[in-house]
Structure 1
């Protein structure tokens, strides 16, 4: 009942993730990122403890594959879990537990990986990756939104979607963007509209934090 993608922009070094589901408040549970490090997606009977644990492994120098292997080995209930990771070099890895419900699938591309479970079509992850890679010159947020829309167009999940998230990190310890639709009958459309409104001011919000003397407005 969740499809998601985590990726890296090779031009800027930014990392980002998007996800959507038929449950509430997905942004609080699935994507975890650290600037200059990479990140983790954790879903299907979601255990949010795996996100910070995975980021800590990446921070320690583990590759994406090593991180995923360590999460699997250290999680007693890993049969219920589905997760993916990307490291600072853009390498990716994923894991599907034996009890993850179908249709589920994954797809890897340059600097990105998509995973999904309880999908209406197992083509969803590949459609997300294809959309993410289609315009590498575009801002990362645009590419992430395109991936989410492509996943829905490829079938999405079998139940109506309710929530969605777009999370990005750049150079600072805080998110570059952390946009969440916690409950909406059209969460992907609502997330896209929120991103379009937020994107023109995104660097100003960072400037207010790191160099307020140069910032505009209040």
Structure 2
């Protein structure tokens, strides 16, 4: 019921992920990231807490593969979970439990990992990773291009209705956290929302760090 890609940008140090599902509000449950640490997903029959545990583990110098291995050994109901995690400089890691739903698969690339369950076909994660590495632009742009490629490759076996993207940079809070929680075309709608937000990202960072020198707000009453 879900396909996702998480990735890092070696130029900027950003981490991020993009995800889509037939279920509502998928990104709110499944994507987690911490600046300077990494990005993780918990999907399939989701336990949102598991992605946070993975991030805490890699924060303290466990490699992604080691973190997943330890979590798998010590977590109840782990065979119902599909997990992925990535840090700044080691190979990403992914896990699909025996009870992962339907057609499911994973693909680990140099700087990205894709995973999905209840897929139309097993090629979807590999296509997302391939397109991510071949694309150019910001991390957010590349993630959304890759997510669309996953949909074009078949996507979920059912119709997707929600999508989201999360990107962290150097601050404690995400600089990009956009979601379409219910739509007939969530990935396309998310990309349009991203193009609206893209030129404003840095403005909102400046407003947080130095409101006295921030750009105009562009709203009624702003002078």
TM-score when scaled to structure 1?
0.97
- Alpha-carbon separation, structure 2, partners of 1:117 and 1:197: 30
* Superposed counterparts of 1:1-218, under 5 Å: 1-135=1-135, 137-218=136-217
What SS does the corresponding residue of 2:16 show, helix, strand or coil?
strand
**Can you list the C-alpha shifts for 1:59-80, whole angstroms capped at 9, x where unaligned?**
1121111111122122110110
- Alpha-carbon separation, structure 2, partners of 1:203 and 1:74: 41
**Can you list the C-alpha shifts for 1:119-172, whole angstroms capped at 9, x where unaligned?**
00100000100110012x411111001110000000001111010000000000
- Alpha-carbon separation, structure 1, partners of 2:153 and 2:108: 17
What is the CA RMSD across the aligned residues, in angstroms? 1.0
Shift of 1:212: 1.7
- Alpha-carbon separation, structure 1, partners of 2:215 and 2:74: 47
Which runs of structure 1 show a deviation greater than 3 angstroms over 4 or more consecutive aligned residues?
A: none
- Alpha-carbon separation, structure 1, partners of 2:175 and 2:22: 26
Unaligned runs of at least 5 residues, structure 1: none
Shift of 1:44: 0.7
- Alpha-carbon separation, structure 2, partners of 1:70 and 1:36: 22
Question: Does the aligned pair in 2 maintain the 1:131–1:150 contact within 8 Å?
Answer: yes
- Alpha-carbon separation, structure 2, partners of 1:27 and 1:101: 18
Q: What is the total number of aligned residue pairs between the two structures?
A: 217
- Name the stretch that deviates more: 63-72 or 76-85: 63-72
Shift of 1:91: 2.3
What SS does the corresponding residue of 2:4 show, helix, strand or coil?
strand
Shift of 1:90: 4.7
What SS does the corresponding residue of 1:115 show, helix, strand or coil?
strand
- Alpha-carbon separation, structure 2, partners of 1:111 and 1:204: 28
Unaligned runs of at least 5 residues, structure 2: 218-223
- Alpha-carbon separation, structure 1, partners of 2:147 and 2:171: 25
TM-score when scaled to structure 2?
0.95
